[in-house]
Structure 1
Amino acid sequence: MLKPTTTKQVADIVRLAAYHEIGIVPQGGNTSYCGGATPDASGRQIVVSLERMDRIREIDPVSMSISVDAGVILKNVQDAAAAAGLLFPLSLGAEGSCRIGGNIGTNAGGLSVVRYGMTRDLLLGIEAVLSDGTVVSDMRKLRKNNTGYDVKQCFVGSEGTLGIVTGAVLRLAPLPTRRATAWLKLARGAPLAELLALIRRESADLLTTFEFMAARSIALATDAMTDRPSLGAGSADAVLVEFASSSRHLDLDELMEAVLTEAIEAGWIEDALLAQSGSQRTAMWRLRETIPEGEKRRNGSVKHDISVPLSSIQRFLDLAGSQVRSYDADLELSVYGHVGDGNLHYNMLIPPDVDRLEFTRRIEGSLSLQLYDTAASLGGTFSAEHGVGRFKKHLLERYGDVGRIAAMRRIKTAFDPADIMNAGAIVRPLGEKSVS
């Protein structure tokens, strides 16, 4: 493992590796679910960790941008922005350890996509080292720049297969000074997409969070907490909703009450609890964020990072539920996610009396493919925000459009003709035959 501190050192490493035909695996916070930052078994790859490249280069409050090294931890970017009275809106469970280069490489999503978008929507400029050591330096703060190909977007979602991102200019937003947070107990048959559309429309798009949680997921989280909040699910699960604004003139609690009254009158919500204090809001968020820990304590889960169009969320839940029951009526599910952007974490709980690895292999080779087939039939995909890496490469080949994969292979070959950049992840270069 090599740990450079400057872009020049990264470029020197890449040139030397290219000369000796040694593969390079860039690594940020090493929080990938898909093996995207893990070397293969060839013994011919080195890890280039960016953990020492952790400088905040500049904050520009007027341009509402922040320039950083790619190795800066996401939470540190958030804190630096907040200290300047601004918000970096990317927020996810691993924000205390994941790094900006990895966020760009996987196009990270998280909790606020419904309002602020994915990482690609927050990226203004980039610095990256190509496979021959050439440095792409495009660290501009411009919102408008129509001067040819938008090269920086090639690196978004590329998981280190096209080059090593060493720096980024990120878009900031006004720092919210007011929030309204509500826990909604859904009525049976409540249409998630219509509820979301109502809340977005009537809140003037001040919605930052729309997190869905099934009753089983809530129970798992509650069991894992020592200070258990008195929050639960309705007949059809629950949703955590939050508005945020930087304006001193908007009464968000009044707005939330008015919007939720409409949803209650429509019969979509059985009950709603509006947080009256910071501690109540914290309790709601802590329960949502403890779901993964609850799954771990229950012997873990087989994870499915599903994405489907908003209009197909309920259809997917219905079809997938039938598939699971037909496969094994005793299987338990933990279903939650950022439904505001069409992302569901549709996880199978591993029974406590079985071997975890054997169970995972069995599910991933059978039921998982049925679920992915259903998502694909609805215009969705098998990976909403976790990426492809090495573990899901076969799924990309199974579900990806032939023309799109061909274009990706051409891009890979153009950027990295010798295939030294994270070889084995995402796609094969042109000319290499599949080993599957």
Structure 2
Amino acid sequence: MMTGTGERRARDAAIRGVFAIFPGTGAGTGTGFNPGIVPVNRLCRNVVEIGREVARERGDMSDEMLNSLRDALGDAGVLTDPERLATYLVDQRDLVKGRTPAVLRPATTEQVMAIMRLATRHRVGIVPQAGNTSYCAGATPDRSGTQFVLSLERLDKIRSVDPLDAALSVDSGVILKHAQEAAERAGLFLPLSLGSEGSCRIGGVIGTNAGGLSVLRYGMTRDLVLGLEIVLPDGTLVSDMKRLRKNNTGYDIRQNFIGAEGTLGVVTGAVLKLIPTPSRRATAWIELAPDVPLPDMLALVRRETSELVSSFEFITARSLALVRDPGGRLKSGSGGVILIELSSSSRHLPIDEVLEGTMGEVVEKGWAEDIIIAQTEAQRADMWQIRETIPEGEKRAGGSVKHDISVPFSRTVDFLKQGGAAVAAYDPRLELSVYGHVGDGNLHYNIMVPAGEERLAFTDRIGRELAPTLYDIAAEMGGTFSAEHGVGRFKRALLQHYADPGRYRVLRGIKGLFDPHGVMNPGAMVDPAEGLPS
């Protein structure tokens, strides 16, 4: 355990890491940190080894601490039975299996505060886990057996719905689908839609700053969070659950915790922005001609629909082949598919006519081989079912190596061409499943595991030999390796490699300032081996 002198040294180092970069002499002064020039293929970490973190001496795992946790949480709040622990220890993609002395299941914010006070006192790691749907092992403990999992599943209360303020207050363990239903019962709409909405929880959605199917219109999770309730690593409660749209009273502290993946504190509650329910939707399935300039198509659609477009999704023929069409009518064009949806809460806007007129212009441009406009809600549901079940189709086909690429929308076609050429040059036998929220520049650029190949070994090989090329292409276009899935444990070295050095120094400084003892989600986002800025 740290001495008082050690605690002061850690605190001072953290503060220097944040503030020393602002002396007016440039980002290169102050901390002395330099990520160096490291070959990116060394930074695409071997996923087989991710779960084999070296067990560090993290602190006291004595019976005394477990007894203290049971006193604070009750027997139902502390799981130690190996059979019950199993589901908490494997990541969403089944690539990593960790170990933990116990899964902690607080039912109140006060219990979370008690956990964090004990964790800081004993210097043990806490891994917050919401729905355990992270694609980057951001909620999975390492294999040291020294990190406790803090499950949010019992923090599952809808606190309030305010129709006049159009705001929803929830515990962080509420399942996203349940939050949507609570808004719907109040006659409002939570404009956040994810493929995992039936299992992901609000805390994880906030922790990863999740995107989803309607970012084009409504923005990322960050744009929908009005207030947060947070427990800091030392057990301090920070409550800012106001329903305000405007609040210029100092630093906006909540923004540090959105997208932080549980590395700075535990989100226990949130106030989310609601909108009038879109009572009318118009949806079209566009079978694309070859070489369609997608940025030009979206510009036309946005101009002609007066920003009614809420989704603009791209699907390749290979991705479409992985799923079953419930209605048997939907197919791919030579250039893939665009699934477009307009939505409005107004009964007075002729939304169907707007879509039909816009699709007529798309045909005149020669961009479509065929267009199907949904005539019923069942037809619309069929279209969206295809889009949303592609990940399941990939898994049934043997799995895929996932790349969550983001580039400026104007460069999406360029990335598709250059990325495809890079994959073909590496191995022309490889098949791509590419789909995603192309309207906001986010491509799920996935490489299918070939028949007969062992999935983990193939994932490792692609991560070392091909992924660096794809990430370099995205970076050269002003893009990034993570659009909405986060960093987690899989991509923390990529963050260090691609981030601006000044930005990375600030990021590490913020981590050190909020969490000087490194108890929050150790190994996620920032490598614990780097220590605190100094």
TM-score, normalising length from structure 1?
0.97
Residue 305 of structure 1 is aligned with which of 404, 414, 428? 404
**TM-fit CA distance, 1:429:** 6.5
Contact 1:229 1:287 in 2 (8 A): no
What amino acid is the match of 1:333? Answer: L
Pick aligned residue for 1:342 from 441, 450, 460: 441
CA pair 185-299 structure 1, distance change in 2 beyond 3 A? same
1:431 positional shift: 6.2
AA partner of residue 423 (structure 2): V
- Letter of the 2:420 partner, please give it: G
- Pick from 472, 497, 517 the counterpart of residue 418 of structure 1: 517
- Aligned pairs for 1:118-267 (under 5 A) are 118-222=220-324, 227=326, 229-267=328-366
Q: Distance in 1 between matches of 2:532 and 2:265?
A: 22
Structure 1 residue aligned with 2:196, among 94, 102, 117? 94
The residue number in structure 2 matching 1:390 is 489
| Alignment of 1:84 onto 2:183 | no
Aligned to 2:93: none
How far the C-alpha of 1:43 sits from its partner, in A, is 2.2
Conservation of the 8 A alpha-carbon contact between 1:413 and 1:429: no
Give the counterpart of 1:110 among 190, 209, 212: 212
> Aligned with 1:211: secondary structure?
strand
Q: Is the contact between residue 313 and residue 439 of structure 2 (CA under 8 Å) also seen in structure 1?
A: yes
Query: For 1:80-122, what per-residue CA distance to the aligned partner results, in whole angstroms no more than 9, with x for missing partners?
Result: 0011110001110110010001000000001010000000000
- Of residues 194-203 and 120-129 in structure 1, the stretch that sits farther from structure 2 once superposed is 194-203
Q: Is 1:59 the counterpart of 2:59 in the alignment?
A: no
Q: Displacement of 1:433 after TM fit? A: 8.0
| Cα contact 1:412–1:429 (8 A) shared by 2 | no
Question: CA shift at 1:173, angstroms?
Answer: 0.7
SS at match of 2:322: helix
SS of the equivalent of 2:296 reads helix
Distance 1:316 1:141 in 2: 40
Q: CA deviation at 1:397?
A: 1.4
**Residue aligned with 2:323, SS:** helix
Greater relative contact order: 1 or 2 (C-alpha under 8 angstroms, separation 6 or more)? 2
Residues 1:12 and 2:114 aligned together: yes
Match of 2:82 in 1: none
- Secondary structure of 1:405's aligned partner: helix
What code does the residue aligned with 1:154 have?
Answer: N
Q: Answer whether contact 2:512 2:532 (CA < 8 A) is retained.
A: no
- Identity within the alignment, %: 61
Contact 1:417–1:429 (CA under 8 A) maintained in structure 2: no
1:108 counterpart SS class: coil
In structure 2, the partner of 1:331 is 430
**Equivalence for 1:38:** 140
Which residue number corresponds to residue 352 of structure 1? 451
Secondary structure class of the residue paired with 2:338: strand
| Structure 1 residue identity aligned to 2:353 | E
Go from structure 1 to structure 2 and tell me whether the alpha carbon gap of 1:424 and 1:430 turns closer, same or farther (over 3 Å shift): closer
8 Å CA contact 1:393, 1:425 repeated in 2: yes
- Give the superposition deviation at 1:291: 1.2
Kindly tell me: are residues 207 and 307 of structure 1, through their superposed partners in 2, closer, same or farther at Cα, counting changes over 3 Å?
same
Q: Which amino acid aligns with 1:30?
A: N
Check whether the contact 1:75–1:96 (CA below 8 A) recurs between aligned residues: yes
User: Counterpart of 1:344 in 2: which secondary structure?
Assistant: strand
- Kept in 2, the 8 Å contact 1:305–1:346? The answer is yes
Q: Secondary structure at the match of 1:365?
A: helix
2:519 and 2:320 map into 1 onto residues whose CA distance is 44
> Where do 1:358-369 residues align within 5 Å?
358-369=457-468
Give the match's secondary structure for 2:135: coil
Report the Cα offset of residue 430 of structure 1.
Answer: 9.8
Q: Tell me, what secondary structure is at the counterpart of 1:221? A: coil
* Contact kept? 2:492, 2:527, Cα under 8 Å: no
Compared CA separation, residues 297 and 429, structure 1 to 2 (3 A): closer
CA distance in 2 between counterparts of 1:324 and 1:416 reads 41
Given that 2:228 and 2:271 are in contact with CA atoms closer than 8 Å, whether structure 1 keeps it comes out as yes
Contact 1:128/1:137 (<8 A) preserved: yes
1 CA distance for matches of 2:392 and 2:511? Answer: 37
Question: Aligned pair count?
Answer: 431
Q: What secondary structure is seen at the aligned counterpart in 2 of 1:336?
A: strand
Write the distance in 1 (CA, Å) between the matches of 2:532 and 2:253. 28
Give the match for residue 25 of structure 2: none
In structure 1, C-alpha distance between the alignment counterparts of 2:395 and 2:118, rounded to whole Å? 42
1:279-294 alignment runs, 5 A limit: 279-294=378-393
CA contact (8 A) 1:127 1:135 kept: yes
Partner Cα distance (1:406, 1:205) in 2: 38
Give secondary structure in 1 for the equivalent of 2:321.
Answer: helix
Distance 1:229 1:379 in 2: 40
The DSSP-based 3-state class of the residue aligned with 2:434 is strand
Answer yes or no: is the 8 Å Cα contact 2:508–2:532 preserved in 1. no
Q: Given the alignment of the two structures, is residue 408 of structure 1 paired with residue 510 of structure 2, yes or no?
A: no
| Unmatched 5+ stretches in structure 2 | 1-102
Structure 2 CA distance for aligned equivalents of residues 205 and 18 of structure 1:
49
**CA positional deviation for 1:44:** 1.9
The CA deviation at 1:229 is 2.5
Aligned with residue 275 of structure 1, among 363, 367, 374: 374
* Kept after mapping to 1: 8 A contact 2:286/2:368: yes
Secondary structure of 2:104's aligned partner: coil
Q: Distance in 1 between matches of 2:426 and 2:347?
A: 53
Deviates more, 1:368-377 or 1:352-361: 352-361
1:410·1:429 contact (CA, 8 Å) conserved in 2? no
In our comparison, the structure showing a higher alpha carbon Rg is 2
Pair 340,42 (structure 1): closer, same or farther in 2 beyond 3 Å = same
Q: Could you state the TM-score of these two structures normalised by the residue count of structure 2?
A: 0.79
The answer to whether the aligner puts 1:2 opposite 2:104 as a matched pair is yes
What is the CA-CA distance between 1:355 and the residue it aligns to?
Answer: 1.1
Do residues 321 (structure 1) and 423 (structure 2) align?
Answer: no
- Counterpart contact for 2:217–2:309, Cα < 8 Å: yes
Please give the per-residue CA displacement for 1:29-66, whole angstroms capped at 9, x wherever unaligned. 01111111111222221111110011110101011000
Name structure 1 gaps, 5 residues minimum. Answer: none
CA deviation string 1:284-339 (max 9, x = no partner): 11111121121112111111100000000011011111101111111111000000
